[in-house]
A and B are shown apart, each in its own frame.
Chain A
Amino acid sequence: MEHLRMNGAYWGLTALDIMGRLGDMKVDEIVPWILMCQDECGGFGGNHQHDPHILYTLSAVQILALFDRLDAVDADKIANYIAGLQNEDGSFSGDGWGEIDTRFSYCAICCLSLLKRLDRIDLEKACNFVANCKNFDGGFGCVPGGESHAGQIFCCVGALAIGGALHHVDRDLLGWWLAERQVKAGGLNGRPEKLPDVCYSWWVLASLVMMDRMHWIDKKSLEQFILDCQDPEAGGISDRPDDAVDVFHTFFGIAGLSLLGYPGLQAIDPAYALPVTVVDRIFYGQKK
């Protein structure tokens, strides 16, 4: 799965930082590797010699933010790359090949916000496009008319939160839909009738936090579900109990536990999906 190594690095490193163990990693090896993944157009690929894409561009900037090394990149170049991906209707393509998805809107807004260059895009149009992806049930899909999906909802709510346009969200209606994702076992699914999955502990929960509706789910049983997904031998977390572990679910499980206030974990920002200390450092200049 080397084509998405940049994402994997973000998941692993952020999880480590939440657990207070980022210092175990060698920043002097990681930062040069990230820079090697940058294309001449300014965007980042999933790995060395892979085509640039907005998904990996966000992950790259997030990792650099973790290490307080945003100075290592030319922020204007990245901002120009992202701005070039915005379409007439405010949406964002993932790369030059044109696929549109609200995930890319989130990547664009989140990344530019971290680089303090949100003014490079038409933010109002971007938020209006996201608002157009709202469905009758209050949820959001990947494109206008797309089925409501917790992952897409996180991206849309996050984009609107960072973009200062949360008024587009019907908090009660969407909060209700999100609260209905909790199943009897305590876990959360991503859509009606689906099995619970640990990654939705993040996407659903972070959305609820941003909308100030986290108290609409049973936190205790969700916490127990996440803990049940940890493999006591391998150490990692899987999508549901007794399945194989992977870094993706480990990160989202840790992130979900952090939102729930599990002791020993750093607080995570629900919109930027980075430790609060990292976000504060960027916007308020506080040292870690």
Chain B
Amino acid sequence: MAEEEDSWQHGVRLVLHLDSILEGDPYIDEIGFVHPSQLESLHSIGNFALEHKKPFFMKTRRKAEGQGEADDTGQYAEDCSQRNEGHEVEAEPPGINPDQSYLNNVQGKFIDFSYDKSAFWCAHHKLAIAVSALAPIYEVARKEFLANRKAHAQCLTGTRNSVMSPSSLSFQLLEGGLCNRSANSRANGNGNVQFQGQNGAVHALLQKNLMLYSRVLVIVNCDFASAWNARKRVLSRMEATEEFLLAELRLARMVLAYGPKSEESWAYRRWIIDRMISAGLPWNTVGSVLEGDSMLVEAIAGRSRMNYRAWRHRYWLVSRMSLQQVASELQNTKRLAQLHVADNCCFHYRRCLLLGILQAGLMPNEKNVNSPTLVASRAQAGLSAALIVNPQLLTTLWKDELSWNRDLIKQFFGFEALWLHRRFLIWGFGHNSKIFKSASLPVVLNNNGSTTPLSEGGGIFSKSSSHC
């Protein structure tokens, strides 16, 4: 009775199931691609009780010989910056980020509808997909995405003479109730855009499909930029609600769990955050998101060491933070830096924070400062006079950093990152004499036995023309 499904129908079924799972549990925070045998193991463990801090699955290093089938080689771009360095991917403790805070109240949930167990496993907000399912899912999602995108664009420009029927798959999704959607599902923004008559209904369908297929695409191929762009296009046309934007952040987080170097995913988070700011969302919300993103980077950087893209995102956040947050970040990352003295990214982040505070010190009386590191929204955050940096405070901060750096070097001699950081601190004194001159500074011992404050004649770095 059971006939061989042709590969297209197989892919269609898998896409529908994946979409149903994602709709059924909108709070999935981790995705992994596993060998079918690993999937069997997951299903066979009854009453699965996953502690959040334990590794969800193991990613294997790409090997030249004897490459196991468990390698999810389809996930890596040829650009080596995308390569995973073979670390385990761990689930984070829930609830520490704003887009995850709901997890504090959400009980462990099992998807209660039937899905293809040879392709998926989902429980406790974790989703595993068999690597063998990826190609068929991708094929279908890609084709449907492109078809819907074309039809959507034509609908928007009114270039269609008649209603062009989207693919039969898309109609199934809307009419057949094959997806586990409730009327009160998460906000999707459709209600915010009014369209007339039949064209309006088709437009709504196409938009819904675009969001469906683009989501599947970015999950299977995190750097499929066109899919991320389609989501931005849809979001640009609708009212940006907090709930909806947080849901988009959850999607990016899901993807970053398995693709921590995905530049498209990080860029998407930045776009969403800027959307939140431009939509005028309350500063408390934005501030929490910034803090949450900073912690997300820290969690990801813990398992994907010296991840340039992750840390780049973190110091982008600094440009959106209030001065109070910047000072708090400096304090909070000290312990992390001490644990990872070889991690140049960590120390570079501290340099960004110090430079941010330094710039505030150089322009102490301007609330609405328009500079690379301060945005007008900081005025909204309520800068108080106490936070305006005075030179003495800044000097103390700098000297403390220098002294802490000296202690670390004594303890962990030979780490390049520590010495680079020291060079920066000394350079900082030399290039900001205006702000440091009134304070008592470290001195340089000259050949003739006299001393010169570091702020004068910056020594070996004086040739550098770079500015802070």
Contacts and interface: CB of A to CB of B under 8 A. Distances in A.
The 8 A-B pairs at the shortest CB distance, nearest first, are namely: A192-B416, A248-B78, A147-B348, A134-B466, A51-B226, A193-B342, A136-B427, A192-B344
A2 to B, nearest CB: 8
Interface of B: 62-64, 67, 73, 76-81, 83, 146, 221, 223-226, 229, 232, 267, 270-271, 306, 308, 311-312, 315-316, 342-345, 348, 352, 355, 372-373, 415-417, 420, 423-424, 427-428, 431, 461, 463-466
Contacts of B306: 191, 193-194
Given A145-B352, A192-B420, A244-B64, A45 B372 contact: no
Contacts of B416: 180, 192-193
30 contacts: A3-B221, A4-B77, A4-B78, A4-B223, A11-B78, A51-B226, A53-B225, A97-B232, A136-B461, A136-B464, A136-B466, A144-B372, A145-B315, A145-B355, A145-B373, A147-B348, A151-B81, A168-B465, A170-B464, A172-B463, A180-B416, A192-B417, A193-B415, A193-B416, A193-B417, A194-B306, A197-B80, A239-B83, A242-B64, A244-B63
How would you classify the secondary structure of chain B's contact residues: helix, strand, loop or mixed? helix
Nearest to B65: A242
A137 B315 contact: no
Contacts of B465: 168, 170
A248 B78 CA distance: 6
A199 B80 CA distance: 8
A141 B417 CA distance: 16
Nearest to B67: A244
Contact of A191 (B221, B312, B344, B415): B344
Contact of A98 (B271, B312, B464): B271
Nearest to B463: A170
Given A138-B464, A239-B83, A242-B64, A99 B223 contact: no
A238 interface: yes
Interface in A235-249: 238-239, 242-249
Given A137-B424, A147-B348, A238 B221 contact: no
Q: Which range holds the interface residue count of chain A?
A: 35 or more
Contacts of B63: 243-244
A97 B271 contact: yes
Contact of B372 (A50, A145, A168): A145
A45 B344 contact: no
A154 to B, nearest CB: 13
A49 B431 CA distance: 50
Contacts of B355: 145
Contacts of B311: 147
